[in-house]
């Protein structure tokens, strides 16, 4: 039996959530919701857009599940606030876990998680509430990802790592085993973290500089 689902958001991530839930879950998306001040269209993906202030009247919590499809804006704070608001309104909060992910952690995954294809989640991993794992990550055994985190693609989290709340881990970052990432950390794309990271720390990988030779002078390409 399909479960009716309301998605908060009307942007790219909401469109992706609509696609994934519609094609690879037991949910049927029936509407979108955004704050009244931000409504600029009556429908999205062919479905109605309802002010969040009125959503419980239009789509009662006793009959509908809810999912918050927002990015890592303000270091995940916006997604956290709306997740908590939807929960306080009485909704059951859904998670999406791709059928194409390798999930071996006995289901230790919280609410409002968005886990896309080609993630490998090893045994004894714990994933909190409101966590996004974009496609293609490796989450090593006995690691803990706390609430409200966002992990971009192709991140390697080695075994026994602890990631604090509201942290952001950028594409292709590598976290060595048995380290702790403090709350509200930003680990940039391609960064390699070999020791504990302090709370609210920003760790930026080195970008590749342009070569002095222009491409028109390369002989083998």
Phi, psi of 147 (to 5 degrees): -60, 150
Q: Give the integer Cα–Cα distance in Å for 211 and 175.
A: 29
Q: pLDDT at position 88, please?
A: 98
Which among 155, 159, 186 is positioned nearest to 171, based on CA atoms?
Answer: 155
Q: pLDDT at position 207, please?
A: 85
Give tens-digit pLDDT for 22-46. 999 999 999 999 999 999 999 999 9
Cβ burial, residue 73 (10 Å; 0-12/13-18/19+)? exposed
Q: pLDDT at position 138, please?
A: 98
Q: Give the integer Cα–Cα distance in Å for 132 and 154.
A: 13
Q: How many CB atoms lie within 10 A of CB 63?
A: 9
Q: How much is the average pLDDT of 169-198? A: 98
Give tens-digit pLDDT for 57-68. 999 999 999 999
Phi, psi of 85 (to 5 degrees): -65, -40
Q: Give the integer Cα–Cα distance in Å for 114 and 135.
A: 10
Q: Give the integer Cα–Cα distance in Å for 53 and 74.
A: 22
Q: Give the integer Cα–Cα distance in Å for 18 and 32.
A: 9
Give tens-digit pLDDT for 118-130. 999 999 999 999 9
Domain ranges of the chain: 3-94, 95-202
Which among 71, 51, 60, 67 is positioned nearest to 6, based on CA atoms?
Answer: 67
**What CATH number is given for 95-202 in this structure?**
2.160.10.10
Q: How much is the average pLDDT of 8-12? A: 98
**SS3 at position 23:** helix
Give tens-digit pLDDT for 70-113. 999 999 999 999 999 999 999 999 999 999 999 999 999 999 99
Mean pLDDT of the chain: 97
Tell me: domain 3-94, CATH 3.20.20.80, correct? no
Which among 97, 98, 96, 70 is positioned nearest to 84, based on CA atoms?
Answer: 70
What angle (nearest 5°) sits at the alpha carbon of residue 13, between those of residues 8 and 19? Answer: 90
Q: pLDDT at position 220, please?
A: 78
Q: Is the pLDDT of residue 1 over 80?
A: no
| Contact status, residue 11 vs residue 33, Cβ threshold 8 Å | no
Q: Give the integer Cα–Cα distance in Å for 98 and 117.
A: 5
Q: How much is the average pLDDT of 135-164? A: 98
Q: Which two tokens stand for residue 103?
A: 């999930």
Task: Give the pTM.
Answer: 0.95
17 sits in which H/E element:
helix 12-23
């Amino acid at each position: 039996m399909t479960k009716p689902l309301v998605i908060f958001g009307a942007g790219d991530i909401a469109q992706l959530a609509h696609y994934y839930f519609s094609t690879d879950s037991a949910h049927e998306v029936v509407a979108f919701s955004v704050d009244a001040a931000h409504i600029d269209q009556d429908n999205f993906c062919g479905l109605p857009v309802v002010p969040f202030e009125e959503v419980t009247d239009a789509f009662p919590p006793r009959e509908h599940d809810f999912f918050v499809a927002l990015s890592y804006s303000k270091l995940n704070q916006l997604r956290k606030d709306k997740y908590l608001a939807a929960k306080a309104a009485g909704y059951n909060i859904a998670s999406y876990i791709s059928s194409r992910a390798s999930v071996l952690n006995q289901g230790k995954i919280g609410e409002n998680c968005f886990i896309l294809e080609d993630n490998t989640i090893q045994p004894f991993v714990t994933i909190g509430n409101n966590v996004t794992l974009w496609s293609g990550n490796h989450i090593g055994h006995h690691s803990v990802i706390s609430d409200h985190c966002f992990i971009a693609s192709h991140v390697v989290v080695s075994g026994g790592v602890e990631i604090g709340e509201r942290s952001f881990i950028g594409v292709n970052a590598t976290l060595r085993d048995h380290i702790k990432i403090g709350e509200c950390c930003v680990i940039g794309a391609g960064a390699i973290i070999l020791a504990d990271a302090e709370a609210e720390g920003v760790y930026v990988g080195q970008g590749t500089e342009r070569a002095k030779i222009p491409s028109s002078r390369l002989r083998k390409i």
